[in-house]
Structures are given as structure tokens and as C-alpha cells.
Chains A and B, each alone.
Chain A
Amino acid sequence: MKNTAWPLFWLSWSRAVDGSFEVLLIAATAIVTYAPWALSEALDPTSWAMSRVQAACIFAWVAAPTLAIGKAATIGSVEREGGLGSFFSGMGVPCRTRFLWAALPSLIISAVFLVGAALVYESSFGWTVGRTLLSLQFIAAGVVVQLAIILLAMGAGAAFSASGGTVMTLLVWFYGLYGVQLLGLMQAGANSWALGSVWVFSPQLWLGDLTRRMVFDWGGMPWSQFAGIFSYLVLWGAIASLGGYALYRKGTGAFYR
């Protein structure tokens, strides 16, 4: 027998990669390759590169996470309703192991698009040390944030339902990426204590999205600045992951293991 958790990984993999992942990958490749052609021919090659990178980053931070969140919530839901949780629990696979191994395929989906976006960036602008540094920062921040949101989605899927878990997690995701920035602007304009408090405790996920730095080719972020952002994202990720785990335990009835 393979490692006891491997079968769970493969079962989750076949649910995660069931055609929609491949379609998204083909769509991303086509759009990133041909999107610049839609621009005016008068535009210079730098604009072409920027549009390619932006398209790739949108796939990495919007399309792929949306798909991965949906898949993770479905897998979590199946663990509860489909009996896989009980089955593998009975096989002696501990709850935390099931949680992580079942989430891994969704993380791979996200990671493929993050790495793809970084490769598009480097191939479009040309290789330099600064660009490689930014690529690595882009992937690291993306993986930390997206792993946490995927774990949260899986827990929510297990505790509620596939659709409920997907919607709830997508709300957190898009609020953290865009809503919180809007709230920041509102708070700055209104100078409201209440809005400020909400903003402070909101998930600042947009910090991990280095799309702008890549599109405008600003190069790697200074390490001290990146370390601060990365630490915040790790802390937020830990809280979200623990929340996801608690929901998963509750949903799959893992009282014991």
C-alpha cells in the first residue's frame, strides 16, 4: 500500500483536476500569448510585455484562486457527505493529515498559475537578478496567502456545503484583495474611528499581490519591506488555516483523531 495519505491525495487530485483546470490553463496560455495583439500596433513592445504580465497575474490572483477555492470547498464537502473522512479516519489517517493532503491538489492549481505568471514576467521583460527576486517574492507571498485561503475553503466546505463554503471564502478573498483597499480609501476620507477599526482588523491580502510591481517592472521589493509584509501574511495565514482546520474537524466529525 502507498503512504496511507497518498490515496486521499489522488482522490482529491482527480476531483480538483477534472477538466476545468485544464480549460483554465489553456485559456490563460491563449490570452497571455495573444492578448497584446488586441492592442494597437502602434504600442511599443514594453506595453505588450506589460499587458502579458497583467493578464498572467490576473489569472494567478483572480481566476486560479477562484477555481481552487471552489475545488477545495467541494473536496471538504465530499469528505463529510461522501464518507471519505470516515473511511480514511477508520484507516488511521489523522485529521490534520487528511486536511493537508486533501488540500494539496488545490494548492498545486494555484501554484501552477503563480509560477506561470512569474515565468511570463521574466520572459517578457528579460532575465535580471532583480526580476528573479521579484518573481520569487511574488510566488512566496502568493503561496502563503492562497494556501491559507484554500485551507479555509476546505474547512468551510466540510462544515457547511460546497456552495456555501465557496461563497463564504470567495467573499473573504475578494474583500481581502479589493474591498479592504476601498474601505481604506473611505476611512481616509471620512476619518471615522469605526471604519478605521474595521480596516485594522481586516485581512490585508492585497499586500501579497505584487502584480503592480511586476506590470510596471519595478524589480524586487527591499528585503526589509518584504519581510514585514511576509510576516503579516504568514500570521494571517496561520489564523485562517487554524480556522479552516477547526471547521474541518467540526464538519467531518473528527472528534478523536
Chain B
Amino acid sequence: MLVVRKSLIMGRSPATPVIESSGAIDFPEGGVTLLVGNNGGGKSTFLQTICGILPALEGGDGIDGAAVYLPEELNFPPTLKGRQLMSALFRSPDSATEALLLLGVPLDTAFGKLSKGNRQKVRIVVTEAFGALKRADLICHDEPMSGLDLITRKLLAGIWGGTREGPIVFSKRAHRIIAMHAGVPPRHQRVLVAVGGKLRVIPPIAICDSWMEATVSSGVDPKEMIS
């Protein structure tokens, strides 16, 4: 389980902190946290901080656990085909390759020639596979649903939410943070809302087809987001 024991102040430079969280947050095994917020609200900064990519401006020594992060943009060499890519990345690429097949990614097409959605599926599988192999406590997906068709969104939401069996390469023990704006959310334990420079925790919500709804559900004044 990954635990954030202290309040965090996060950003790329002390002069311009982007977001802060108050109090401890834990990410229990196998669960899902939804992360929503407006553009530039600090979602990626938060994810990069708890994954150790960015140093916290304050409170970083309170992060305990191993995490894997899928950035919004992750481009593999355009000439590598799905099968070759998995072989380059993993000593035993079979289960990751199977996951690509399950998600409908053509294995003999070069990464650069895949559609946007299929490239995104490759990124998700690679991240999940690394997360499982590293025995990560936390797997962070930064807007993973972007570019995916409805069927795949539902499939992933089901796997991550634990309502459907996933490929073996998807870790069952890791907690996942799914940052998203709109789409089909997986079943989740809570929502983190990044707005107005603060990270707020709110309980799970029944409908979250856009970040706006989640923000409104959290009781935050929408004007705050607009400003």
C-alpha cells in the first residue's frame, strides 16, 4: 500500500507551487481512486510527485511505497511493431503480448502506424506490465481513456474496477489512480479533485461522466475553476 503521510505542497519550483494536499492519504491494495480537475489544475503534478518524478516542495519525505506512472504522452519508437516492442521491454513478453491481443492491438503493425487509440492501449499495457513486474503499490494513469473507443473504455473500467477479469499482466494488488476528464469511470473508492490549488478528497460518486460533475459534487464553486 502506498501512503502519503503528510500534507504535500507540489510544483516545479518553490516560487510557483501548483497544488497542495492536506493531511494523509493512503492508497489501499487493489482499489481505484479517480482524479479529476481542470486543465493546469495540478493533476499531473500530483501524480508525478507521488511517483517520485518531481520532488515535493514540502512533505515529500512522507511518501512511502513504489509507484509507476503513465504520462499523458509516451511515444515508443515508431518502427517497432507491438510484438517487437514487448520483446524489447520484457524478458517474458508473452503475457503483455496477450494483453495487447485482448485489447485488439494488431501485433504486426509498427507503433507509429497504429491508430491513436491503439497506441494508447500499448501504453496502458506497458505501464500495467511494468507495474506488475515491479510489484508497484500504485499505478498512475494520466488520462488513459483519451482516444479509446467506448468498448475499450468499458473493458478497462471493468478490469480496473474489479468487475471483470483482466489479462494476467494487470496487477491485482496495485492501487490505481485514474486521472480523467470524461468517460466511463471504473468503480472507485473515492475521488480526488484538483481545483483552485487544493487537492480535495470526496467520496465515490455515482455518475462521473465529466470532471465538472465531480467538481460540482464536491461542493466547490464552479466559478473557482473558471477563474
- Beta-carbon contact of A10 and B70 below 8 Å: no
Give the contact-size bracket for chain A: 20 to 34
CB distance from B12 to the nearest CB of A (A): 7
Interface residues of A (CB under 8 A from B): 1-2, 7, 10-11, 13-15, 18-19, 78, 81-84, 86-87, 89-92, 253, 255-257
The residue in chain A whose Cβ has the minimal distance to the Cβ of B74 is: A83
Cα(A90)–Cα(B44), bound, Å: 13
- Beta-carbon contact of B68 and A90 below 8 Å: yes
- Beta-carbon contact of B89 and A86 below 8 Å: no
> Assuming the A-B contacts A18-B77, A90-B67, are A1 and B130 also in contact, with contact meaning beta carbons closer than 8 angstroms in the complex?
yes
Interface residues of B (CB under 8 A from A): 12, 48, 51-55, 66-77, 79-80, 84, 88-91, 127, 130, 133-134, 140
> Assuming the A-B contacts A14-B80, A84-B74, are A255 and B66 also in contact, with contact meaning beta carbons closer than 8 angstroms in the complex?
no
- Beta-carbon contact of B73 and A90 below 8 Å: no
Q: Which of A15, A90, A253, A257 contacts B12 (CB 8 A)?
A: A253
Cα(A85)–Cα(B74), bound, Å: 9
The residue in chain A whose Cβ has the minimal distance to the Cβ of B56 is: A256
Return chain A residues, CB-CB under 8 Å to B90.
1-2, 7
5 A–B pairs (Cβ distance < 8 Å), ordered by A: A1-B91, A82-B73, A86-B69, A87-B71, A87-B127
- Beta-carbon contact of B77 and A14 below 8 Å: yes
Q: Which of B52, B67, B74, B79 contacts A87 (CB 8 A)?
A: B74
Q: Which of B48, B52, B70 contacts A92 (CB 8 A)?
A: B52
> Assuming the A-B contacts A90-B52, A92-B52, A255-B55, are A10 and B73 also in contact, with contact meaning beta carbons closer than 8 angstroms in the complex?
no
CB distance from A257 to the nearest CB of B (A): 7
